[in-house]
Amino acid sequence: MTDEFDEIETGRRSGAHRQESAAQSNVGAIALVIILALVAVLLVVAAINIITSSMKNPESDVAEPGSEKTASASPSPSESEVSVADSSLDVDVLNGSGVSGVAQEFSEAVEKKGWSVGEVGNYSTGLSDSTVFYKDESDASQAEMVAEALGVDATEASTDFDADITVVICSDIAERGPEPSDGGSGEN
């Protein structure tokens, strides 16, 4: 069936064609609604997940202290093995504080505790906290003993130094000198 709108003169615009079927436009609208519904469901699930995870106690996911150490395959030295200074280790004492005579004072304390003193001198550093550096992981316990004997708070593995253990004294403890220690001494 044709009407006056099907026969249009060229150059003249009049009226519009009617759409034959509305079914195709409904399919697009239905697909859009389904996609929006899926996105809404995913957002609700994500929101619920975030809310429940934020309400959970964060400490419940943290392992008990020492639980990893009991499962490790490497044996840890017993208290009696690390309570005596190892005189075979060379301990360098370096002054990074700029205070005159500090390295000598701390090296004497190291020697009194039973370690062999290597190099004693000055060291240029940007550090402000004194640190005891150790070369091998096997010397970590001895480095901790040296730190405790001198009142140094930090120990750190480093291959930047030649000695087994290197003490870098900085401004944090230079003025007060080495701290006396009750433990970690080679003297009996």
**Over the stretch 114-151, which tens digit does the pLDDT of each residue have?**
889 999 999 888 888 999 999 999 999 999 999 998 98
Joined tokens for residue 92: 């360098």
Whole-angstrom distance, CA of residue 170 vs CA of residue 156: 15
pTM of the model: 0.52
Sign of CA dihedral 14, 15, 20, 22: positive
What confidence category does residue 181 fall into, taking pLDDT thresholds of 50, 70 and 90?
very low
Number of domains in the chain: 2
More confident residue, 63 or 4: 4
More confident residue, 37 or 7: 37
The 10s digit of each residue's pLDDT in 55-72 is 766 655 555 555 444 444
Last residue of a domain, one of 39, 57, 75: 57
User: Would 185 be classed as within a structural domain?
Assistant: no
For residue 127, the domain's CATH number is 3.30.70.2390
Domain containing 51 equals 21-57
Per-chain mean pLDDT for the chain: 78
The 10s digit of each residue's pLDDT in 16-45 is 655 555 556 688 888 899 999 999 999 999
**Between the CA atoms of 99, 105, 111 and 113, what dihedral angle is there, to the nearest 10 degrees?**
-100
User: Would 76 be classed as within a structural domain?
Assistant: no
Q: 145 near 123, Cβ under 8 Å? A: no
User: Would 178 be classed as within a structural domain?
Assistant: no
User: Would 53 be classed as within a structural domain?
Assistant: yes
Three-state DSSP class for 159? coil
User: Would 83 be classed as within a structural domain?
Assistant: no
